[in-house]
Amino acid sequence: MFGGSFDPVHRGHLAVAHQAVLQLALDQVLFVPARVQPLKTQGPSAGPEHRVAMLRAAIDGESAFVVDLRELARPAPSYTVDTLRELKLERPRDQLFLILGADAAWDLPRWHEASDVERLATLAVVRRPGAPVPPLPASTVTLALEPVDVSATAVRDATERGEVIDQLVPKAVAEYIAVHRLYR
């Protein structure tokens, strides 16, 4: 499971998901866009339909990647623990991993029912520029990946300034943002 705002999905997310498949031998990566992330001070800037459309465009042709809409179907806030419980019921024999950037991992102790999150899924943490990896349960795996210096905030800010964002997001996402005049 790879949850987030994906506002928008960017090259950092995709690099992380690819490495997770390779290093953890995953069958699937579920990209789970949140309705509202409980610990973010601001809600998403783009509506759920745009965030989903950009995710779909970004993962087109990637057979191991799936967009999972369950958190958008539930009322906010979007608690990861609820999603993991549902996934465990649906796939009782699967081993679940929760993919997290190091910045998000620092917040984990404050998550709703954090101890159940850690019980339901193996944490797979990724280093991120400016965010050291926090102390985590012994079962945590750390993905070996050169930190990718891209954030959705940087994409939104660059778009607002009228800059080219091709280095930050896949081509299809850059085109979608331009056509729909997002983040302006």
Nearer to ligand ATP by Cβ, of 92 and 128: the residue is: 128
User: Among the candidate windows 3-11, 59-67, 112-120, 132-140, which touches ligand ATP by CB under 6 A?
Assistant: 3-11
Determine the angle formed by the axes of helices 48-59 and 11-24, rounding to 10 degrees.
Answer: 50
Residue 123: strand pairing partners: 98
Task: Give residue for tokens 């999905």.
Answer: 9
Give the burial string for 72-93 (b: 16+ CB within 10 Å, else e): beeeebbbbbbbbeebeeeeee
User: Nearest distance from residue 25's CB to ligand ATP, in Å?
Assistant: 20
Of residues 144, 92, 142, 134, the one with CA closest to residue 114: 134
Q: How many residues bind ligand ATP (CB under 6 A)?
A: 18
User: Nearest distance from residue 37's CB to ligand ATP, in Å?
Assistant: 7
Sheet holding 141-143, edge to edge: 97-101, 122-126, 141-143
* Residues numbered 118-147 forming contacts with ligand ATP, rule: CB under 6 A: 126, 128
151 lies in the binding site for ligand ATP (CB under 6 A): yes
Nearer to ligand ATP by Cβ, of 12 and 170: the residue is: 12
Nearer to ligand ATP by Cβ, of 7 and 71: the residue is: 7
Interface positions with ligand ATP (CB under 6 A)? 4-7, 12-13, 16, 100-101, 103-104, 126, 128, 148, 150-153
